[in-house]
Amino acid sequence: MASTEQQTERSDERKRVDYEALALPYHEGYPRGKIGTYLKKPLETQEDLATAYSPGVAGPCRLIEGDRELSYRYTARGNLVGVISNGTAVLGLGAIGAYAAKPVMEGKAMLFKKFAGIDSFDLEIDEEDSDAFIRMVAALEPTFGGINLEDIKAPECFYIEEQLRARMNIPVFHDDQHGTAIIASAALLNALELTGKKLESLRVVFSGGGAAAIACAQMFLTLGLQSEQIIMCDSKGVLHHDRIDLNSYKKRFAQHTKLRTLEEALIGADVFVGVSAAGLMSSSMLRSMAKDPIVFALANPDPEITPHIARAVRSDVIIATGRSDYPNQVNNVLGFPFIFRGALDTESRTINEEMKRAAAYAIAALAKEAVPESVQRIYAREGHLAFGRDYLIPKPNDPRALVEVASQVAAAAQSSGVARRILDIPSYREQLARLSLDPSGLLA
């Protein structure tokens, strides 16, 4: 006879919509694909043509030749992000290649436009050699105001981002790392407030030793956690100093410990962060955690443990997943459009730790504000949304996220010295509020 937990899981499965099947006609329908281009300036008359192209276009070309920074003023560069992948680690699909990655990258470009009014080109590069990939992307700097790296496997993704950040004078942001880390950090800050737990006394256990896990752990350190409070596990168990198979990135989180398995590490732990694979957290593991356990089961498409099972095991659990059909979705769309908005509008040279931390705190703070009725209607099936255990972080559709996150990121860019353009933040917030009403528009 099936256990209560198994019955709960099966019932949950039956309720799920087959979005993969729905996606096929959605993507195939005419016109093909999910993004396109449109004209921003008039091109109706002979004069328009002569101004947009030859001979008039020589005017901005000559100015930019003398000062490259003017490309922000006279071209689309200041509102243009490259969404770039080689398809080596796509969603929960793995190394499916550059061609198969394109639907995901087109979707990412849609999100940039929908939520922050940012134009983007998706570029799928069929190249797995890291140095060759780096050369290709670095050569694109004249085209873009920022680079969003996506779905590149670890540990190559760390090296690629490090090299591109060193070579390029525009923001380079690997969203699988930093986007996840920023949203998870916001969720952690609010979960701590709800449980009364203190950052300095936490025991945090990670399941997963890849890009997202390492970035989340690093971000938690910037919030004030100490490295000795973190136990990280990969597919072979706990990262400890006796292991000789760890790359340089995993070594940063290796501990002097006798713990060897995820199950051992979770005994008495306060926080579980799963960025690994479906079903890796058992009921017994959850039972062994401390009071008011905080569980971020972020594996996609299926989490390490589902909210249905987790709540059947422990009524005091706070659980977040990466799925939109469960409460507390830790989804990068709550971060990257708004982070890039603030970075682009200040013409920043990079997205630094100060900007990432500002984004996390802005997202956490917004969750405590009353939720607008427009957002309540969209998520009506979840019941009334209000700050609490089932509402740790705001919803991506909340129009205030653009204003709050982008303005705080812009302010951090300016105060930390990476902004080329200085904005009046109160006026900028007003501009963002107007843009939030029509993200297809552009900032003045």
Q: How far apart are CA 292 and CA 92, in angstroms?
A: 29
* Cβ proximity of 384 and 402 under 8 Å: no
Q: How high is the pLDDT of residue 3?
A: 53
Q: How far apart are CA 78 and CA 122, in angstroms?
A: 16
Q: How high is the pLDDT of residue 440?
A: 64
Q: How high is the pLDDT of residue 91?
A: 80
Q: How far apart are CA 289 and CA 305, in angstroms?
A: 14
Beta strands in 298-406 (DSSP E): 318-321
Kindly give, in sequence order, each residue whose CB lies less than 8 Å from that of residue 7, ignoring residues fewer than 6 positions away. Answer: none
Mean pLDDT for each consecutive 10-residue tract of the chain (444 residues)? 49 65 91 90 96 96 97 96 97 92 96 95 98 98 98 95 98 95 98 97 96 96 96 97 95 97 98 96 98 96 95 98 91 95 98 98 98 93 94 93 98 98 98 85 52
Give residue-wise pLDDT tens across range 379-393: 998 899 999 999 999
Q: How high is the pLDDT of residue 438?
A: 78
Q: How high is the pLDDT of residue 19?
A: 83
Give the CA distances from residue 438 to residues 39, 70, 118, 362, 432, in Å, rounded to whole numbers and listed in that order.
Answer: 17, 27, 12, 22, 10
Q: How far apart are CA 147 and CA 152, in angstroms?
A: 13
Kindly give, in sequence order, each residue whose CB lies less than 8 Å from that of residue 82, ignoring residues fewer than 6 positions away. Answer: 120, 121, 123, 137, 140, 143, 144, 146, 147, 148
Give residue-wise pLDDT tens across range 182-202: 999 999 999 999 999 999 999
Give the CA distances from residue 279 to residues 9, 154, 282, in Å, rounded to whole numbers and listed in that order.
Answer: 11, 22, 7
Residues serving a catalytic function are 53, 108
Q: How high is the pLDDT of residue 279?
A: 95
Q: How far apart are CA 383 and CA 165, in angstroms?
A: 43
- Nearest by Cα to 201 from 280, 290, 135: 290
CATH number of 178-321: 3.40.50.720
Task: Say how many CA atoms lie within 13 Å of 221 toward its Cβ.
Answer: 14
Superfamily of domain 332-437 in the CATH hierarchy: NAD(P)-binding Rossmann-like Domain (3.40.50.720)
* Cβ proximity of 241 and 254 under 8 Å: yes
Helix axes 211-223 and 353-366, enclosed angle (nearest 10): 80
- Nearest by Cα to 142 from 107, 168, 181: 168
pTM, 2 dp = 0.93
Kindly give, in sequence order, each residue whose CB lies less than 8 Å from that of residue 431, ignoring residues fewer than 6 positions away. Answer: 443, 444
Return the DSSP state at 252: T
Helix axes 98-116 and 400-415, enclosed angle (nearest 10): 100
32-170 fold: Rossmann fold (3.40.50)
- The vertex-377 CA angle with 20 and 190, nearest 5°, equals 85
Q: Where in the chain is the domain with CATH 3.40.50.10380?
A: 32-170
Q: Where in the chain is the domain with CATH 3.40.50.720?
A: 178-321, 332-437
